[in-house]
A and B are shown apart, each in its own frame.
Chain A
Amino acid sequence: MLDKIGIAKRIAKELQDGFYVNLGIGIPTLVANYVPEGMNVEFQSENGVLGMGPFPFEGEEDADLINAGKQTITTLPGASFFDSATSFGMIRGKHVDLTILGAMEISENGDIANWKIPQKMVKGMGGAMDLVASAENIIVAMMHVNKKGESKILKKCTLPLTGVNCVKKVVTELAVMEITPRGIKLLERAPGVTVEQIVKATEAELIIEGNIPEMVIN
């Protein structure tokens, strides 16, 4: 079974040289730490920066330089700043190659819910609805089951949706799955996890073809 860092490391293997990538809050943010050596990717933050770098050193933080999670950041050589309309122009215009975000639920046909629990938690969708409606390539980083052990990979989402028919790939502590027109296909198992464990933790129907390999994570 993977921890959050393991999930981030596995997703980092999906990065490709020359990709512009938007990272959501939480596990997706960690992916930036595991970019393979020698690969050039640029991180876009929807509040208006391309070429985001690591956190600043103590005493060097700048109130005018934050990421979409409101954390202080730095920029790398080649970075640029822009306004919010231009930022979402990049996203809707499909100039961003990969979006990695978290989810509360996903469904067999690629629907995603991650912004609202009625009567309980209403924080807003931020940029998630724009991202999922436009991105060609969306990877979801999430936990397979909730704290009560109930599956978050469902036949149909129960929470208010963020977007429909949009998720392409899901990486959880248990598995890597692909959303296909036929449903959710199991691609890889987490180290030490069996196919039976994954099936048991998944409410949605899984397509299982042939031998399911164990993930390789450095």
Chain B
Amino acid sequence: MINKKVANVREALHDLEDNMTIMLGGFGLCGIPENSIAELVSKNVKGLTCISNNAGVDDFGLGLLLQKHQIKKMISSYVGENAEFERQMLSGELEVELTPQGTLAEKCRAAQVGIPAFYTPAGYGTEVAEGKEVRVFNGKPHILENAFDADFAIVKAWKGDEAGNLIFKGTARNFNACMAGAARITIAEVEELVPAGELDPNQIHIPGIFVKRIFQGEKYEKRIEQKTVRQKN
């Protein structure tokens, strides 16, 4: 067994530096690497390019990095929940590359599995296609999209073992499973880290080969963005 375990978040992120490109898993606030984001805030790394489907809310998730102006550029599909984000974008302080969500996921997956680029119909005929190669397959136009090239991928899973194997829960799998192994260094933070052999190999979602370092997060707030309930009758 190749042991991927590191003592804590500080050790996991020790070589993450200013001006790097980092992928962060999660959809909205669901499945975000909370402990790593807190460490990025306290490390105060600057000039980051962040690849993440969303940008958090004003006071949680990537919103915490935005508040401190640590992010130079965001690559996302939807950023509607964050007023500070919108302010920084409209004032030009923050560079933003909006990417269709399926294309964003596939650019991660392509980087994960060694595919340099791919054609997709998403965005054809829109401003997303500007400057991109168009090619017709089966009578339908597609645009060429490149795989991401990132320094770090930071993902969050429910359970993991020392070999770096990961299991996700519910819809928290989202971009986490696509980003694992999609950057030069992948860091996984998990709610529960167990010794190798305790997880059933049949149940592993992401094999440990895609993970470089793993640690158990100190605590998880797991904030709910929109609590929606129905009444018992």
Binding site for B on A (CB under 8 A): 45-49, 54-58, 60-73, 81-85, 87-88, 91-92, 111, 119, 122-130, 133-134, 160-165
Which of B36-44, B196-204, B218-226 is the contact stretch? B218-226
**Residues from 173 to 224 in B contacting A, C-beta threshold 8 Å:** 173-178, 205, 222-224
- Determine if B14 is an interface residue (Cβ-Cβ < 8 Å): no
- Determine if B101 is an interface residue (Cβ-Cβ < 8 Å): yes
Decide if A122 touches B90 in the complex (CB within 8 Å): yes
A-B contact pairs, 24 of them (CB 8 A): A48-B27, A49-B170, A49-B171, A55-B230, A62-B170, A63-B224, A64-B172, A64-B222, A66-B28, A66-B30, A70-B225, A72-B228, A81-B168, A84-B174, A85-B106, A87-B105, A92-B120, A92-B121, A124-B76, A125-B128, A128-B100, A133-B121, A133-B122, A162-B126
CA separation between A42 and B126, bound complex, in Å?
30
CA separation between A64 and B224, bound complex, in Å?
9
Residue from A68, A70, A91, A119 having most chain B Cβ neighbours under 10 A: A70
The 6 closest A-B pairs by CB, nearest first: A88-B102, A123-B80, A130-B102, A164-B125, A83-B177, A64-B170
Given known pairs A45-B171, A64-B30, the reply for A133 and B123 (CB within 8 Å) is yes
Q: How many residues of B contact A (CB 8 A)?
A: 59
Decide if B173 touches A81 in the complex (CB within 8 Å): yes
Decide if B105 touches A85 in the complex (CB within 8 Å): yes
B223's nearest neighbour on chain A, judged by CB, is A63
For the A-B complex, the count of residue pairs with Cβ-Cβ distances under 8 Å equals 180
Contacts of B173 in A (CB 8 A): 48, 81-83
Residue from B28, B103, B228 having most chain A Cβ neighbours under 10 A: B228
Contacts of A124 in B (CB 8 A): 76-80, 98
Decide if A64 touches B158 in the complex (CB within 8 Å): yes
Residue from A68, A111, A124 having most chain B Cβ neighbours under 10 A: A124
Contacts of A92 in B (CB 8 A): 102, 120-122
Contacts of B229 in A (CB 8 A): 55-58, 60-61, 72
A162's nearest neighbour on chain B, judged by CB, is B126
Contacts of A71 in B (CB 8 A): 226, 228
Decide if B227 touches A129 in the complex (CB within 8 Å): no
Expressed in whole angstroms, the minimum distance between the Cβ of A71 and any Cβ of chain B is 4
- Determine if B109 is an interface residue (Cβ-Cβ < 8 Å): yes
Expressed in whole angstroms, the minimum distance between the Cβ of B64 and any Cβ of chain A is 18
Decide if B109 touches A85 in the complex (CB within 8 Å): yes
Contacts of A164 in B (CB 8 A): 124-126
Contacts of B104 in A (CB 8 A): 84
CA separation between A61 and B224, bound complex, in Å?
9
Contacts of B98 in A (CB 8 A): 122, 124-125
**Residues from 96 to 142 in B contacting A, C-beta threshold 8 Å:** 96, 98, 100-106, 108-109, 120-128
CA separation between A125 and B31, bound complex, in Å?
21
A126's nearest neighbour on chain B, judged by CB, is B78
Contacts of B70 in A (CB 8 A): none
- Among the listed B81, B100, B109, which residue makes an inter-chain contact with A130, where contact means beta carbons less than 8 Å apart? B100
- Determine if B163 is an interface residue (Cβ-Cβ < 8 Å): no
Contacts of A162 in B (CB 8 A): 126
